[in-house]
Amino acid sequence: MTKKGKHTVLFICLGNICRSPAGEGIMKSLVEKAGLQDEFEIDSAGIGNWHVGQLPDSRMRKCGAEHGYNFNSHARQFQKSDFGRFETIVVMDNENYRAITSMASCQADKDKVVRMADYFSRHAGERIVPDPYYGGPEDFELALDLIEDGCRGILAQCRAAE
């Protein structure tokens, strides 16, 4: 999970306006609280280009703010060059996994792609972070709770690897 002394983590979802910017924001917050911001490079991207340049969905920003997070990154689309920049590419669901691994040019790149659910501890029975985009506030709460759980697991694994 390390590259040149830094943990490089990229969060992926479909459009980069709900789940992946939440992953980026939560992970940055956890890393900052641990005083480890110099040891991490954290970003997010989407599979599609529909929202490039936009802030995260207002409902996700509101949900995040209610939990003390600031989701203010601007959407961008995943690029094949991201395989070279990031050692860990965290996807939110199985469709994201298929889309990103299909862009890998070698097994080493495919091996960088992991599911957020692999890092759940409180929600060990869940297999994906469902997309809240077409849902209500409860769907954003669930996504945030799952992402928070996964980010804590990612941070714990990074710290254990040191």
Per-residue confidence band for 3, with pLDDT thresholds at 50, 70 and 90: very low
Beta bridge partners of 46: 13, 77
Residue 13 appears among annotated catalytic residues: yes
pLDDT digits (tens, 9 = 90+) for 109-119: 999 999 999 99
Distance CA 9, CA 20 (A): 11
Distance CA 143, CA 140 (A): 5
Task: Name the catalytic one among 131, 149, 151, 158.
Answer: 131
Task: Name the catalytic one among 18, 19, 61, 93.
Answer: 19
Residue 18 appears among annotated catalytic residues: no
pLDDT digits (tens, 9 = 90+) for 55-104: 999 999 999 999 999 999 999 999 999 999 999 999 999 999 999 999 99
Residue 118 appears among annotated catalytic residues: no
Per-residue confidence band for 41, with pLDDT thresholds at 50, 70 and 90: very high
Predicted structure pTM score: 0.96
Distance CA 3, CA 55 (A): 28
pLDDT digits (tens, 9 = 90+) for 118-162: 999 988 888 999 999 999 999 999 999 999 999 999 999 998 887
Distance CA 44, CA 155 (A): 16
